[in-house]
Chain A
Amino acid sequence: MNNRLIHWFKFASPQSFYPLAGKMIPWFWGLAAIFFVAGLYIGFFVAPTDFQQGEGYRIIFVHVPAAWMSMFIYLVMAFWAGLGLALNTRLSSMMAQALAPTGAIMAFLSLWTGAWWGKPMWGAWWVWDARLTSALILFFLYIGFIALQAAIDDARRADKAGAILALVGVVNVPIIYFSVQWWNTLHQGASVSLTRAPTMATTMLWGMLIMALAFWMYSIAVALMRVRAIILEREAHTEWVKELPEVKN
């Protein structure tokens, strides 16, 4: 037990995590590529044309996984940030910082593809649908987190302040989500909602799940690359960074 604990903490130090992350990145990129190809193939060629929505629905193979990721990454980010605050482990805070831009991109992607889907379905680029509205607010939360960290010069203070914001955000996300849902049902009669999708063909579901996996792998790969960059930036004054071959040359 004790041995195991030590093992874990060994990788919690930036110095030992840096090369480990470097070894993992190609694998995640590879997996992401495989899943993307498979998912897109299913999405474009295997999945049948929807009898209600025609070909336009195929954007869900990007839209839905992106929306899932945007929510999930926020939770993961808040987890790492909170861990960094509680245990004072630098690497966890760096993870949180590395995840934020990816989360923001996912939220933005889900908004963008939502608009593309909405135009043929609803005849409008934007409707104040509960999901779209919550995604928009989630996007604002990400931007707030990134902007707060960017505004603080001292890295440790940025970590801690960001962690508090992420934790406050994570308490608020369900409340925001629920309130927007409530607001939407109160104000809207019968508009098409993304939630009430017609029964899905099995191949569609598979395509979506594989695409979700692809987004997962992509997010991990990108986050690891970013965390490596953050480590180099923050530990630039240490001996081990100066000894790295990529820094020396």
Chain B
Amino acid sequence: MLSATGLTCVRGERRLFSGLDLAVGAGEWLHVQGENGAGKTSLLRILAGLAPAAEGEIRWHAEPIGALAEEYRRHLLFLGHHGAVKEELTPLENLTFSARLDGASLAEAEALQALARFGLRGREDLPVRFLSAGQKRRVLLARLAVRKAQLWILDEPFTALDVKAVDMLSRLIIDHVGSGGSAILTSHQSIPLPHGRALRL
């Protein structure tokens, strides 16, 4: 589904990687590994179409993503270092807004259910700034649960999560990949998920 050929990334005067090829099909996921500063985040941002590659081409179902533009983004879910969670808004408001941004409308019941699933019951109407770092990440996970996208690109999704939440996220990814989705993620720890392939930068 997603394939990239000859990707090169230059940051300032430093060449982070060059001639990188990768492909992720339906029901597969890719674990991008590498040391700090190896260009993991840069790679994910290039794959999401946020930053241009210095060289190389990325195709989604054999079409260049630049030409697909909004059509590609409809199938894409990208979570970066910053979770796009507003401190002043409640988890419910955050979740509803990101669903709108994704071009979907989310019924309140469905949103509440997703939040409850990630242990945020009773905190739906509390501004996020009163939540702990881990709970903030859980608001993000709720978004993964409600968003229907074929391709997930997740940058360090396991950061700041407790054991229980790591478990829930793993299950989400397994379900997603199991139902024919694809995922690309970075993580420092090894991920106990089947059907994974590793890419070392």
Contacts and interface: CB of A to CB of B under 8 A. Distances in A.
Interface of A: 153-154, 236-237
Nearest to A237: B13
A154 B13 CA distance: 10
B12 interface: yes
B57 to A, nearest CB: 15
Contacts of B12: 153-154
Interface in B1-53: 12-13
A154 B12 CA distance: 6
Interface in B83-124: none
Interface of B is mostly: loop
B92 to A, nearest CB: 37
4 contacts: A153-B12, A154-B12, A236-B13, A237-B13
Contacts of B13: 236-237
A220 B67 CA distance: 39
Contacts of A236: 13
Closest 4 interchain pairs by CB?
A237-B13, A154-B12, A153-B12, A236-B13
B46 to A, nearest CB: 14
A154 B11 CA distance: 9
A118 B13 CA distance: 50
Nearest to A154: B12
A6 B13 CA distance: 28
A240 to B, nearest CB: 15
Nearest to B13: A237
Nearest to A88: B52
Contacts of A153: 12
A154 B14 CA distance: 12
A236 B12 CA distance: 12
B124 to A, nearest CB: 40
Contacts of A154: 12
A90 B116 CA distance: 52
A153 B11 CA distance: 11
A13 to B, nearest CB: 16
A223 B13 CA distance: 25
Contacts of A237: 13
A237 B13 CA distance: 7
